[in-house]
Amino acid sequence: MKIHLRSVILLVTELLVVGYVSWVVYLLSTWMVDDAVAARMAPMDWYSTAAKRLGLSLVVGAAVAGAVHDVNRRWVVAPFGGSRRHAVRAALVLGACVVLAGVLGATRFVIVRPFM
Partners of 33 in the beta sheet? 115
**Structure confidence at residue 38 (pLDDT):** 85
**Structure confidence at residue 33 (pLDDT):** 85
Q: Report residue 33: phi and psi, to 5°.
A: -105, 165
Secondary structure class of 33 (helix, strand, coil): strand
Give dist(CA 6, CA 75) in Å, integer.
8
pTM: 0.88
The residues spanned by each domain of the chain are 5-112
Q: Please report, for residues 14, 37, 45, 46, 57, the alpha-carbon distance to residue 33 in angstroms, rounded to integers and kept in the order given.
A: 32, 7, 12, 10, 18
Residue-wise pLDDT tens digits, 4-62: 788 889 889 999 999 999 999 999 999 988 888 888 999 899 999 999 999 999 999 99
Residue-wise pLDDT tens digits, 76-116: 776 666 677 888 999 999 999 999 999 999 999 999 988 86
CA 73 vs. chain centroid, Å, equals 20
